[in-house]
Structure 1
Amino acid sequence: ISTDNLSAWDAQFTACIWLHFIEKLGVMEMAPSLSQAHRRRWWMAVSAIIENLLFSAVLLGWGSLLIMLKAEGFYSHLCIENTTEHHVNRSLEEDSVWLSCVEQEEVLNLGFTIGSFIISAATLPLGILMDKYGPRPIRLMGSSCFAFSVMLIAVAAYDPSILSPLIFIAVSFNGFGGICLTFSSLTLANMFGNVRSTILSLMIGSYASSAVTFPGVKLIYDLGVSFHLIFWVWGGMACLVFLNCIVNWPVEPFPAPEEISYTKKVKLSGVAMDHAVTGDRCYTHETTVEQEMTKNQVLDEYAQCSGAPQQSQGTQPFRRSVCSAIFLWSLITMAMTQLRIIFYMGAMNKMLEFLVTHGDPYAPEELVKESEEQVSLYSSVFGTMQLLCLLTSPLIGYIMDWRMKDCEEDNSLVDGERRPPKRDRKIQKLTNAIRAFIFTNLLLVIFGITCLIDNLPLQLVSFVLHTVVRGFIHSCCGGLYAAVYPSNHFGTLTGLQSLMSALFALLQQPLFVCMLGPLGGNPYW
């Protein structure tokens, strides 16, 4: 079994070992209580957003990382072995002697395929692990994996002719560590009550905007800072995430607001009675007892007191949810969307190059140099635009929460009774989710059209649409599942959808090879 085949699974295979090791270190004993964490929630939220920006799905800024890896000579020995072929050209850096070629880009793009696959596929096992261990050990494991990954890249850069294969292990740990940090940060929104949706959208937006990190790193690299120094410092910063988690994140999972706001009121009352012998009147005391209880406890007690058969949201079998038409169609839609988004990010540099050279294999030296400059410029612009995910993510949250206040009961009394809500909550949630899903897919269609137009400046519009769709699509899908399916199926359905989309997105590697080979670099096919 080759190292390339193993590297896609090594990070997930060692997840439980990392969790056991973290427990043995005794860091769980240093954790704050839930009440202490609640007082620090704003610090935790702000720091989590920054950590998501710097350490989560940074691999989505692959275009900028690819330029740096080529400049550092990763897999350049493949070009040295084929120096007689016409498609070999020198790096843009004047002081670099490394060569670049199609074979090099194919192998490096395989690393991106592996890393992006793990980012999506790891959500299902992570959901199971977090249900069992809580977000704290997941976050500790994630920061450790990320720090290890960037340090491994720094080590491989010392002798890329020999150590280039380490890039596959590095991107595997990078993708796994990043999604661990993202997944654990989503639970923080439970501590913010009425603004929970806003905090959640900011977490998702910061995750989607993390693609801006590698373009930022490339800017520092272009200023002359050593590649090794950048990645060693970055690894040290990831260690600070580990320390922040030890100090501020509790062992217990953050309970949702509805799980701590329920109160049980037991009213003990009776009628005045005359004792049969003494004639003394005995009154029962009327008291009210309040205690915190979860939603399930409320349902249990209601069933016991009313004599009604006990029911729960889990009465619908999971197989029925999986086999429903809505879920199956969402799998097809999300798989195609994921493949479109991932392929564009992996092949963007070659697509931009084709717009300049129009696929001419014998392009003059001036045109080749111009194409490299344009690719470098546009990849930096694309990376910078990833911050739009953070700015536009509250918009999709607003669409998902449209007129939800009309679904609340009016506390004012009319003829001794509360006014019923104006709208059914579940119907409104489903309507909002459908609107958001249609709007996002409409943007995706427009994105596909702009990509087919042979105009380089117009690709800036494609960049904006790609960024917005990537920030919207997961929120839309999650909102649809939350509106249609029982809550105890939500996590598993989301993880299953993400896993299936990741498997389908693996097709981007053969598509990329096909584009560079038989299609001669023409992306329009």
Structure 2
Amino acid sequence: MAPSLSQAYRRRWWMAVTSIIENLLFSAVLLGWGSLLIMLKNEGFYSHLCTENVTEGHSNLSLTEQTGWLSCIEQEEILNLGFTIGSFIISAATLPLGVLMDKFGPRPIRLFGSSCFALSMVLIAVASYNPKVLSALIFIAVSMNGFGGICLTFTSLTLPNMFGNVRSTILSLMIGSYASSAVTFPGVKLIYDVGVSFSVIFWLWAGFACLVFLNCFLNWPGESFPAPEDIRYIAMGKLRGKELDQKMTDTNVVLREQEELKKLPSSDEAPSDGAEAQSSPPFRRSVCSPIFLWSIITMAMTQLRIIFFMGAMNKMLEFLVTHGDPNPSEVLVKESEEQVSLYSSIFGTLQLLCLLSCPLIGYIMDWRMKECEDDVSSADGEKSPSSPPKRDRKIQKLTNAIRAFIFTNMLLVTFGILSLIDNLPIQVVSFILHTAVRGFIHSCCGGLYAAVYPTNHFGTLTGLQSMISAVFALLQQPLFMLMLGPLKGDPYWINLGLLLFSLVGFLLPGYLFYHRRHLIQEKAARDGQSLSLNQTNDSSKHQGTNGDI
């Protein structure tokens, strides 16, 4: 039996803390692919594709007697294809999930998502028992892992609605924990390196995912969380105040809350502002607007840059050690493996910086927004006009979005430049920049859509943008094959091309600057008309007063 919304409101802090932990351990963990790839290769996934491992007898020898499995380009390519599919699902599933969550609420989606994640861990564990026969299960596993993870993330983003004034802080922590979940596989690899069995790790992980299912079943309500401006949320706040004042028993409070909440309209049935509904542009106009089209180009470019680096990072690091030597010595091979393992662990650990970078970009997006308030609440609860606002809210939101995009694109370009440098230690700086960009870019885009487009278009536009970006990011697979094939493992030319392509990201803030200037001119014209009208009214009143005298 699902708890009521009022019961969930009392448990909101427990739900928030557990959601942050669950996002860290179960959401976009696939983005820590570098560490998972090392473990999969060590366990022999698709090792039978290597040309040196063609006979049945040699294959059996590899399974029983060799200390390590053979590795080759064919193995790298097919495993990277699995990462491409999983990362695509993480981004592309947001649009259908948004539609489903609007219809069914977060509870069934979260239950299904945790089940998919647990099953993905079971499939990986089972496949490790006989990788030569069961390696193909990795494609089903990463698909279910990506889908289950994004279900947990997407549903947790609605939970901050229950926190009123600290809503933005909780939301930034949710996004930060999602972005930081790439640290999970590097952490798992440390346990694996200690000597814990690969299959045991993933069986235990599947068991922990079942706890996520149980937590959702016991604590998440069957209906969606109301936003702070929703009448149901206001009613809950009032009821909590009455509870404190009258010191009623918990049983009576629950019954009273449920009775009053049932009388209130749901968010779908709540009356909307007629003027706002009439002034809201059609969805087609929002989709075809230049801002949305430029944002798609920027987000698609950034997504490809981020995903390609994650998928190809191990081979890039390997090339920096071997410098493309076709016949490396055993000492060089061992050094390469050690360096790749070390730097992939460093990269995974740095993903925790997303917990800091996401609130930072949120601060940039909220810069001086308090100065835009144009009315204050009076003592009787009604709004009365205050002194003229110093800043226009929409223009300030747009200004903040411009600054955020410029800052993010500068970090992305700097990251691209550092990726071209043939130096291992300096790549740690590129890891930090990569993490910052990954934490910033989605907050930038969300803030822009909130500033420019109607509220009822926000979710669909965000999901559509995410899906298109995911489709474009599929290009990382042919780029990876190009790097391993014709380029002999040298990522320089691909990184240079992506660096030049990333300069396109500055066109969006350039257009936003033009659009902002147009809004400022419109506001100045409106203010001038309003001032002229006020002067005319004052003059008429003055003449009327003189006539009475």
2:47 and 2:70 in contact (8 A); partners too: yes
Q: Shift of residue 80 of structure 1?
A: 5.0
In structure 1, runs of 5+ residues without a counterpart are 1-29, 85-89, 264-290, 304-309
- 1:441, distance to aligned residue in structure 2 (A): 1.0
Confirm whether residue 175 of structure 1 aligns to residue 175 of structure 2.
Answer: no
Q: Which residue of 2 aligns with 1:361?
A: 326
Aligned pairs (5 A) from 1:424-439: 424-439=392-407
Q: Provide the C-alpha distance between the structure 1 equivalents of 2:356 and 2:454, rounded to a whole number of angstroms.
A: 31
Equivalent position to 2:296, from 319, 331, 345: 331
Residue-by-residue CA offset, 1:319-367 (whole Å, 9 max, x unaligned)? 1111111111111110010000000000000000010111111222111
The SS at the match of 2:338 is helix
| d(CA) in 2 for partners of 1:226, 1:120 | 31
Match of 1:39 in 2: 10
Q: Report the CA distance between 1:379 and its aligned residue.
A: 0.3
1:467 maps to 435
CA offsets, 1:280-301, max 9 Å, x none?
xxxxxxxxxxx9778998875x
Partner in structure 2 of residue 423 of structure 1: 391
C-alpha offsets along residues 407-453 of structure 1, whole Å, 9 cap, x if unaligned?
Answer: 2224579xx85334322211111111111111111110110000011
**Cα gap change, 1:369 to 1:298, in 2 (>3 Å):** closer
Query: Following the alignment from structure 1 to structure 2, what is the Cα–Cα distance between the partners of residues 179 and 472?
Result: 18
1:49 aligned to which of 10, 20, 36: 20
Gaps of 5+ in 2: 56-60, 236-262, 494-549
Whether 1:344 and 2:315 are equivalent positions in the alignment is: no
Does the aligned pair in 2 maintain the 1:127–1:491 contact within 8 Å?
Answer: yes
Q: Distance in 2 between matches of 1:313 and 1:370?
A: 66
Contact persistence 1:388–1:467 (CA under 8 A): yes
Query: Which residue number corresponds to residue 87 of structure 2?
Result: 116
- What corresponds to 1:140 in structure 2? 111
Q: Deviations over 1:344-400 (max 9, x none)?
A: 000000000010111111222111110110000000010000000012211011111
> What does 1:308-327 correspond to in 2, within 5 Å?
310-312=275-277, 315-327=280-292
CA distance in 2 between partners of 1:106 and 1:296 (Å) = 47
Q: By how many angstroms is 1:96 displaced?
A: 2.1
1:331–1:417 CA distance, 2 compared to 1 (3 A): closer
1:230-379 equivalent positions in 2, closer than 5 A = 230-260=201-231, 310-312=275-277, 315-379=280-344
Do the aligned residues in 1 keep the contact of 2:226 with 2:267 (CA within 8 Å)? no
How do residues 73-88 of structure 1 correspond to structure 2 at under 5 angstroms?
Answer: 73-80=44-51
Q: Give the aligned residue type for 1:430.
A: L
1:299 touches 1:312 (CA, 8 Å); kept in 2?
Answer: no
2:541 equivalent in structure 1: none
Q: 1:379 to 1:79 in 2, by over 3 A?
A: same
Q: Give the conservation status (yes or no) of the 8 Å contact 2:53–2:70.
A: no
Q: Does 1:451 align with 2:424?
A: no
| Counterpart residue number, 1:493 | 461
With over 3 angstroms needed to count, the CA separation of the structure-2 counterparts of 1:311 and 1:379, relative to structure 1, is closer
Which of 254-263 and 373-382 deviates more?
254-263
Partner of 1:286: none
Select the residue among 155, 167, 189 that pairs with 1:218: 189
In structure 1, distance between residues paired with 2:177 and 2:487: 36
Residues 72/296 of structure 1: CA separation in 2 closer, same or farther (3 Å cut): closer
Say whether residues 1:154 and 2:125 are aligned partners: yes
Structure 1 counterpart SS, 2:386: strand
Q: For the residues of structure 1 that align with 2:93 and 2:178, how far apart are their CA atoms?
A: 15
Distance 1:314 1:124 in 2: 25
C-alpha distance in structure 2 between counterparts of 1:333 and 1:362, whole Å: 41
Which structure is higher in helix share? 2
Counterpart Cα distance in 2 of 1:61 and 1:412: 52
Kept in 1: contact 2:300–2:469 (CA 8 A): yes
Q: CA deviation at 1:245?
A: 0.2
Q: Which residue type is aligned with residue 174 of structure 2?
A: M
State the Cα RMSD in Å: 2.3
Q: Which residue of 2 aligns with 1:20?
A: none
Residue 517, structure 1, aligned to residue 485, structure 2:
yes
SS of the counterpart of 1:521? coil
Q: 2:169 aligned with 1:204, yes or no? A: no
> Which residue of structure 2 lines up, in the alignment, with residue 283 of structure 1?
none
Letter in 1 for 2:171: L
Amino acid at match of 2:419: C
Match of 1:506 among 474, 479, 503: 474
Share of identical aligned residues, percent?
79
Would the alpha carbon gap of residues 313 and 180 (structure 1) be closer, same or farther in structure 2, given more than 3 Å must change?
farther
Task: Output the CA distance in 2 between the equivalents of 1:262 and 1:379.
Answer: 48
Contact 2:376–2:385 (CA under 8 A) maintained in structure 1: no
CA separation in 2, counterparts of 1:294 and 1:252? Answer: 9
Residues of 1 paired with 2:408 and 2:290: CA distance? 20
User: What corresponds to 2:529 in structure 1?
Assistant: none
Report how far residue 401 of structure 1 moved. Answer: 0.9
What's the CA shift string for 1:222-276, capped at 9, x where partnerless?
000000100000000000000000000000100000113679xxxxxxxxxxxxx
Q: Confirm or deny: 8 A CA contact 1:411 1:418 kept in the other structure.
A: no
Tell me the equivalent position of 1:384.
Answer: 349
* Residues 227 and 482 (structure 1), Cα distance of their counterparts in 2 relative to 1, 3 Å cut: same
Alignment-mate amino acid for residue 285 of structure 2 = R
Aligned partner of residue 158 in structure 2, secondary structure: helix
**1:404 maps to which of 363, 369, 372:** 369
d(CA) in 1 for partners of 2:402, 2:208: 41
- Residue number among 56, 59, 73 corresponding to 2:30 in the alignment: 59
